Amino acid sequence: MLDARDIHQAYGGSHILRGVNLQARAGEVTVVLGRNGVGKTTLLKCLMGLVPLKSGEVVFDGRSVRAAPPYARARLGMGYVPQGREIFARLTVQENLQMGLATRPLGTPVPPQLFELFPVLKQMLGRRGGDLSGGQQQQLAIARALASRPKLLILDEPTEGIQPNIIKDIGRVIRQLATRGLDGEPMAIVLVEQYYDFAEALADRYLVMERGEVIASGPGSEMAEKGVRQLVAI
């Protein structure tokens, strides 16, 4: 579904990403791990076109999207949940979800499956996003990204600042999305995460970054055996 090849990116004189390769397959969760400041968020922004590449290639669903702006990538089926959620605090839950439909034809309804994944949102459709708890805002941010029915969902640290019971619910949703998406079709998931246990529980494949490079990768089932927890320990 996604094939990022030899990604290089630089801010001014700083070489942030150095030859990063990442693949994400439908039906799988690909987890990106690493300490703070190693380039994980920059990598996701490069995948979405929010930050230009210095060199490299991004292929999505069989076509190059390197030159495509973020809105075009969203139309093709890439969904993005940024770090810090970035919901619209003054808009209601309903309006936030409708913003997720910006790439769809006018009048497209909010997918009812979103309320099966996140029942609390149905109870709060008229509440402003800024009045929700951190965990509820994270659920809203994920639901907003899912509203356009993407083929690929990119998540940047969805457990950051979230209470444990909501973390458990988000993990369940991510696994369900990978398995059957919103409509029975497997979805590709790319997950950047600092919470190691959460990442290990979900990972079908993993890669570890350090100083802008991938220093380890493999099947999620081998994370414990390969000592990945020690690689990302602060």
**pLDDT on residue 64:** 96
Which architecture characterizes domain 2-232 according to CATH?
Answer: 3-Layer(aba) Sandwich (3.40)
pLDDT at 208: 94
Q: What's the average model confidence in pLDDT over 6-11?
A: 91
Which residues have CB under 8 Å from 223's CB, separation 6+? 200, 203, 206, 229
Q: Mind giving me the DSSP string for 23-42?
A: EE-TT-EEEEE--TTSSHHH
pTM of the entire predicted model: 0.91
pLDDT digits (tens, 9 = 90+) for 81-115: 998 888 899 999 999 999 999 888 888 899 999 99
| Average confidence score pLDDT of the chain | 92
Between CA 152 and CA 74 the distance in angstroms is 10
**pLDDT score, position 234:** 61
Q: Where are the beta strands (DSSP E) in 107-212?
A: 152-156, 188-192, 205-210
- Burial of 162 by CB count in 10 Å (0-12 exposed, 13-18 middle, 19+ buried)? buried
Of all residues in the chain, the percent with pLDDT exceeding 70 is 100
Q: Alpha-carbon distance 7 to 49, whole Å?
A: 12
- Locate 211 and state its tokens: 């100083």
| Number of neighbours of residue 61 by Cβ within 10 angstroms | 15
Please say whether the beta carbons of 22 and 80 come within 8 A. Answer: no
